[in-house]
Structure 1
């Protein structure tokens, strides 16, 4: 049980989000956030390519797409697709949970967020992504501290 908890924590800690895209059903980009280095030309190509792939997928298909040696996890909420690009070996379900959490934050902030909120307040949507990442990191630090304390007490009990 302890090994499973530590493995989950390590997976979450090392989750590498390369970029976040919010795309409408019509293929219009509503928000982008880049955490890996892409030139402007490459960003345009990435957006065009991924928009085409995701919008063409049937609703019954899974929300994960393998792409250029990475994985894109997406979820449609109303008229928007929320997409995150992660490493190939990262946890897709954890990423879906992060996307859902981000949508909940947007809903709380805007009061039932809609596409227009993100069009006219894209800087707020971008800032909320950053705060989400900080929140995740803070949570991980707290969990790591608790786990370290637990491991220390288990070691102390074992050496008695």
Structure 2
């Protein structure tokens, strides 16, 4: 496992990320370690059951299969990250909060529906924060600038596609 010192954080490797709702439905997953599809389903089922049954007053760390799963509930969503047993769970709680704050800034008080209907943007934001399971960017301002630049590129591509359609006569049928 590689560690990198980034702006005061010693970031360890994250094996996977799960965002699940209170009913156990998966809203976002990202796997940084190799798991077969069957194993992924089993992991999601196990962790969903373990985390959803825990009392709210218990700590946000679960020892699981020789790893630690750090989770935090925001509204109806549980943000879960699996790390090595010797990694610092408080840093991971900060990382979860960092990711949530960026989602909040982008979506304006992010909710489960934002992740359902804009999952591609949620994945893009996650990829700007984490790279291969390691912290990539700690600056919310930098991530926000990159996200808006990506949105601008997408809008430009849509406008160009529409203008090309209009030129060749495919528009407005």
| TM-score relative to the length of structure 1 | 0.77
Correspondence list, 1:75-90, <5 A: 75-90=72-87
**2:133 is the counterpart of 1:137:** no
**2:117 is the counterpart of 1:120:** yes
Aligned residues: 134
Q: Is the 8 A contact 2:4 2:11 kept in 1?
A: no
Structure 1: which 5+ residue stretches go unaligned? 1-6, 140-160
- Aligned equivalent of 2:21: 24
**Inter-partner Cα distance in structure 2 for 1:22 and 1:83:** 6
- Give the structure with the higher percent helix: 1
User: Match for 2:42 among 26, 42, 45?
Assistant: 45
- Aligned equivalent of 1:9: 5
**2:104 is the counterpart of 1:107:** yes
**Inter-partner Cα distance in structure 1 for 2:101 and 2:5:** 22
Structure 2: which 5+ residue stretches go unaligned? 139-173
Query: In 2 relative to 1, CA 114–36 (structure 1 residues): closer, same or farther, beyond 3 Å?
Result: same
Where relative contact order (Cα < 8 A, 6+ residues apart) is larger, the structure is: 1
Query: In 2 relative to 1, CA 127–138 (structure 1 residues): closer, same or farther, beyond 3 Å?
Result: closer
What SS does the aligned partner of 1:45 have? helix
Query: In 2 relative to 1, CA 39–108 (structure 1 residues): closer, same or farther, beyond 3 Å?
Result: same
Please state how far the C-alpha of 1:14 moved relative to its aligned partner.
5.0
What SS does the aligned partner of 2:41 have? helix
Which range is displaced more, 124-133 or 23-32?
124-133
